[in-house]
Amino acid sequence: MRTFGLAVAAFALVTLMDAKPAHALSGNDLFSACQYGRPVSKDVCYGYVVGALAQISAGRQQAQRDGTDYPWNICISNEYSYKQYVELFVAYLGENKAQRHIDASWLFLSAMEDAIPCN
């Protein structure tokens, strides 16, 4: 049921974002979604972060299989909850207002590289 709710929330956000395709979400779009107290907005924010973390993990695993370097210095840890990753991302967006107009995926990668670099 939670998956269905996240799918509905994602659809609602994309529909509300000036009919932009999902890949074009800006940092402003996600910052707004993460700030609102409405459950749909929070689910979109949470779902975006969970999906982005999964993509980072998959990319790192693929690079290891290929024997190549992963381009981002990000090491995901089980020490953090998904909620904490959301909080890290929101804090980064709050501290980088001048960059929030750019693609959210780049901002997320930058936020995680700052917050959880590999040692």
Query: Residues 69-101: pLDDT tens digits?
Result: 989 999 998 899 999 999 999 999 999 999 999
**pLDDT at position 97, please?**
96
Residue 103, helix vs strand vs coil = strand
> Which parts of the chain register pLDDT below 50?
4-19
Domain span at residue 103 reads: 2-115
**pLDDT at position 34, please?**
87
Picking from 62, 75, 64, the residue whose alpha carbon sits closest to that of residue 112 is 75
Q: What's the CATH code of the domain at 45? A: 1.10.890.40
Instruction: Give the end-to-end CA distance of the chain in Å, rounded to a whole number.
Output: 38
Report the domain count for the chain: 1
Query: Taken in order 34, 11, 56, 54, is the CA torsion positive or negative?
Result: positive
> What global pTM score does this model have?
0.76
CA angle 21, 22, 26 (to 5 degrees): 100
